[in-house]
Structure formats: structure tokens, C-alpha cells
Amino acid sequence: MILCPCLFGSSKEDRLLSTSLLRGGVSHAERRGQWLSEQDELASNCHACGVEFTLLEGRHHCRRCGNTFCQRCSSRRAQLLLYGGSDLERVCDECFRLTGVENELASRHLPLLERGATVALRTLMSKEMVLLKLNAAGDALQILAGAPHPRHVVPLAKISAVEVNGATGFALRGPETLRFDSDNRDAIASAVRATISHAQTPSLALTVDRQRKNKKVEQQRADAIREHQEATRARRNANADFRNSLKQKYALRGHTTT
């Protein structure tokens, strides 16, 4: 994967985080590549309202999904924190709606899990202080206890629920249920829930790809209908011309013979 270095902080950790699947998994440069190919592909109409682009109705790209929009459908600006940008950037209305949750994830939930939270791992007989931490790929939680190798690795996809109990208790339900205690329980539980929910939604690249395919199929269908209508009209005109020529030939003005 090629990452645009200008977009990310210079610390090693930042660069590691930028490769996380949870942070889009697609670099700014790659997204930019998508806008450009989109321009070649389907830039004749607004992706949302369908208005045709003209000299006056200019085309704009949503910096999140990369699709092409008219000014009205892409008039909002948002920070795209999850994709490494902190400036206000042009987004379509649908993406504007989604950036709230994403920015919360990027600014609050992911940093907590990426840094790791110190919690007490409860077993039947004892409690042990461990670090609950998201792995570099962003697809599993590691439970580290001093040693470099994690005691447990729980893939996000395998966590079916995050339950809270008592004042400080929480549990990760999965094939094996792990129980913890922490004074920071609520923040940790919210972070794990948000991260799981984001991990389970299809990636942006995949969603955009699917949208484009649907759009292309729609376009092809519309083109086929238009061609059929044009062919029918041409045939009708040809028939009318033929009838007129017959009428003229046999001087049957005023009568129909068909």
C-alpha cells in the first residue's frame, strides 16, 4: 500500500496507525486516485440528485467517498479524522452524516485502545493487571501482561457483546468470555463497542466500489431503454414515410390503407 507521507504525523506510531484497517485502510493518495478515475467514468451527472453537469453546474468530489456531486449536494465541510485529515474538507451530505461517528471513533475511542488501557483481568481465583490494547492491524484486542507476548488475542470479529456489570466490571463475550474490572470501565466499554461496530461495517473502498457498480448498471439500463425508444421512433418514422410515399404514389390522399 502506498501512503501519502504528507498526511500523517512523522512519529513511527502515527505511521503504524495509518495502516490500520480501522482507519479506512486506504491512503489519501489512493482516494485521490479514486476521484480521478471517477471523473473519467461517470462524471456526467451528480451522484446524489442526478443533475447533469454543464459549464454552469460544475462537478465536485466528495473527499470521503470520492464520488462526484453538484455544488448543492456537496456544500458541507467536515474533518476526516479517520482518514488522516484534520482540515475541513468538502463532503457529500451522506458522508457528512457519517463523519460524526467516525470522528468520535478517531479522536476518542481508537486512541484509547491504541494506547492501551490498564485493567484488571479477573479469573476464578485471582485478579491480574493487564493492558487491553488494539493490535497494529486494528483487527484484534490483545491482553498483555508484562511479557512481550499477549496472554490472549481476541479478534474483533469474534466479540459478540461487551457487557457491563456492577460499578467497575465489564466482560468481552466471545468463544471465551473474558472478565475485567476498571475505574475507566465506561470509556473502555464504549471504545470497544464503537471499534467493533466500525470493524463490522464494510470498508469505505468496498462501499464506494459497490455504489459505482450499481450506478454503472443503472446507467447501462437507462442507455438500453433510450436506445430501444430511439429505435422504435425511427421505425415508426420509417413506416410513416413509407405510407406517405404510397399515398403519393397512388394518390390516396385522405384515406388510410393500413
Q: Which residues bind Zn ion (CB under 5 A)?
A: 46, 48-49, 62, 64-65, 70, 73, 92, 95
Which CB sits closer to Zn ion, 94 or 104? Answer: 94
Strands (E) across the chain are located at 60-61, 68-69, 76-79, 88-91, 117-122, 127-134, 140-144, 152-155, 161-165, 169-173, 178-181
Least separation in angstroms between CB 71 and Zn ion: 8
Q: Which amino acid is at 60?
A: H
Least separation in angstroms between CB 52 and Zn ion: 10
- CA–CA separation, 139 and 13 (whole Å): 17
Which CB sits closer to Zn ion, 95 or 121? Answer: 95
Q: Which amino acid is at 162?
A: V
User: CA 254 from chain center: how many Å?
Assistant: 65
Least separation in angstroms between CB 84 and Zn ion: 16
Least separation in angstroms between CB 92 and Zn ion: 3
Which CB sits closer to Zn ion, 28 or 64? Answer: 64
CA distances from 113 to 15, 23, 147 (A): 16, 13, 19
Which CB sits closer to Zn ion, 96 or 247? Answer: 96
